Amino acid sequence: MGQLVDGVWHDTNTREVKKDGQFVRNASAFRNWVTAQGAPGPTGTGGFKAEAGRYHLYVSYACPWAHRALIYRSVLGLDDAIDISVVHPVNLENGWEFADYPGATPDMIGDARYMHQVYTKADPTYSGKVTVPVLWDRETGSIVNNESAEVIRMLGGEAFRGLAKTWTDFLPEGLEAEIDEINAAVYRTINNGVYRTGFAQSQGAYEKGVAAMFDMFGRLDQRLADRRFLHGDRPLESDWRLFTTMIRFEPVYYFHFKCNIRPLTDYPNLRRHTRDILNLPGVRETVHMDHIVDHYYLAHRRINPYGIIPAGAAIDLDGPEWGPIALQEAKAC
């Protein structure tokens, strides 16, 4: 995982570890907003009017942050309005790459071989990480935004409402504060918590991360005991944000990031929530387990140097006994 420095790619590790071994994620760099008439949004500059066919999403099917944007595009019916390019799941010394892999695509906008070339097209002197998702604007030939939390607020907001075939409000008035509060706690302990745990470089930082995560699992499991989704009977923004991490938990984070204080089966309501979301219209087709498993186990060479994929990572998402296949086989013995 390298980075760009003044527009030049360097295969050096990004510095996101503090002295005490704690992983701290850097903020995303492009923060403009697409709005109904092109007026400036909460951050960045204006000029990005919502129009069908104008915007493009660069994603990895492996990535939980990009998965948020893919889910909004699919569930809201924005697939005709916004097209996508999908990178190869295994990002090594050149970062994300457009290369042959089932489901991956070439760069559908330009002819970039690497995602870092998309960033330097937007800003030839860009310095920083080269991440997905990226919301690209064909008209200005630049990146609108590369922060998934904001990309989904745009896709689910008023700007794209007229372009969405099956628009639903995932951020209803009156619930914004509650949603923001849950989002922040889930981000800290779970969405980013799995990385904080997995990329920790000290025992203390790891233990802090994993304890906070499982404490949150307990709280969410309780919250979901008497309601189907986090805020009631239909999924809202915080449900989607929780889902993209939880669907990766059993195949990946449990083993790879050592998030293993207890199995997820000890949190039946939380696990049921993940499964319920998976079965909602438009969701299953956004989940590509081959990309997910190959990305984490084959690309993170610092924490899995030989690229061994644990046997328990094979998950049956479609059968009635949803869950790790090895566990089902063990039960059957």
Ligand X SMILES: N[C@@H](CCC(=O)N[C@@H](CS)C(=O)NCC(=O)O)C(=O)O
Phi, psi for 246 (deg, rounded to 5) = -65, -30
Site string for ligand X, 60-89 (x = CB under 6 A): x--xxx------------------------
Q: Is the dihedral of CA 175, 180, 182, 186 positive or negative?
A: positive
Residue 84 has a CB neighbour count (10 Å cut-off) of: 17
3 state DSSP class of 238: helix
Between CA 80 and CA 60 the distance in angstroms is 19
- What token pair was written down for 92? 């090594």
Q: Compute the least distance from the CB of residue 283 to ligand X, in Å.
A: 19
Residue 58 within binding range of ligand X, rule CB under 6 A: no
C-beta closer to ligand X: residue 137 or 147 = 147
| 282 strand-pairing partners | none
C-beta closer to ligand X: residue 63 or 277 = 63
Q: Is 119 a catalytic residue?
A: no
C-beta closer to ligand X: residue 27 or 332 = 27
Alpha helices in the chain (DSSP H): 64-75, 115-122, 148-155, 158-161, 176-186, 193-198, 203-223, 237-246, 254-256, 268-278, 289-299, 325-332
Please give the size of the binding site for ligand X, defined by CB under 6 A.
Answer: 16
C-beta closer to ligand X: residue 195 or 254 = 195
Q: Segment contacting ligand X (CB under 6 A): 48-56, 59-67, 205-213, 304-312? A: 59-67
**5-44: contacts with ligand X (CB under 6 A):** 28
Residue 205 within binding range of ligand X, rule CB under 6 A: no
Catalytic, out of 55, 61, 63, 253: 63
Give the binding site for ligand X (CB under 6 A).
1, 28, 60, 63-65, 95, 129-133, 146-149
